[in-house]
Amino acid sequence: MMGFREQLEAIKNFVETEYPGHLEDHGISAPFVTTEFIDFDRFKNDFCLFIEFDGANFAPSPFADDCGQVQRLQANIVIAFRNDTATNLYEKLMDASTALRELLRDEKVHKERLAIADDLTVKAVDWFKYVEGNRHLVASKFSLEFEMQI
C-alpha cells in the first residue's frame, strides 16, 4: 500500500520528469520543485513549484469501524515566478500554467500513462498577480482531486 509520503514523492517525481517537456514549448526552463511548506521568503528561485496535500476522503469499510481506504485525495500545485518585470512575470505565469494544465490533461486523457493517480481532476486554478503585495512575485494555484494509487 502506498502511503501519503510515497504518494507525495510520486507526484513530485512525475512533475520533475514530465513538466519540463511541456515548458520547453513555451520557452521556459524547469522549476525548482519542492514538497516543503510554501515560503516565498525562503525559496527565492526565479521559478518554483510547490506541491502540498490539502485533504483526504475515505471510503468507509462496511466490515470495520475504521475510516477505510483513501477514496479521494486533494492536493495543490502552486507555481511562482519572481525576479523579472511584472509584465514578463505574468506572461511566464500564464504560459507555465498552460503547460501544467496540458500536462495534467494529458495525464487524464492517456490513462495508460497515469503515473500519480487512478483518476485525476483539476478542480480549479487561481492566479495571484501580486503575491504578498509584491508586484515582482506572481503565482497560480492548481487545486487537484484524485484517487490515490493503493
Domain boundaries, the chain: 4-59+69-147
pLDDT at residue 11 tops 80: yes
Give the least confident one: 17-26, 33-42, 54-63: 54-63
H-helix segments, the chain: 4-24, 86-109
pLDDT of 61 reads: 65
Q: What average pLDDT does the chain have?
A: 84
Residues 6+ apart with CB under 8 A from 117: 73, 107, 146, 147, 148, 149
CATH 3.30.70 fits 4-59+69-147, yes or no: no
Task: Decide which of 149 and 129 is more confident.
Answer: 129
> For the segment 106-134, what is each residue's pLDDT rounded down to a tens digit?
766 655 555 566 778 889 999 999 888 88
Residues 6+ apart with CB under 8 A from 105: 122
pLDDT at residue 67 tops 70: no
Q: Is the dihedral of CA 143, 144, 145, 150 positive or negative?
A: negative
> For the segment 81-99, what is each residue's pLDDT rounded down to a tens digit?
999 999 999 999 999 999 9
> For the segment 45-65, what is each residue's pLDDT rounded down to a tens digit?
999 999 998 887 777 666 666
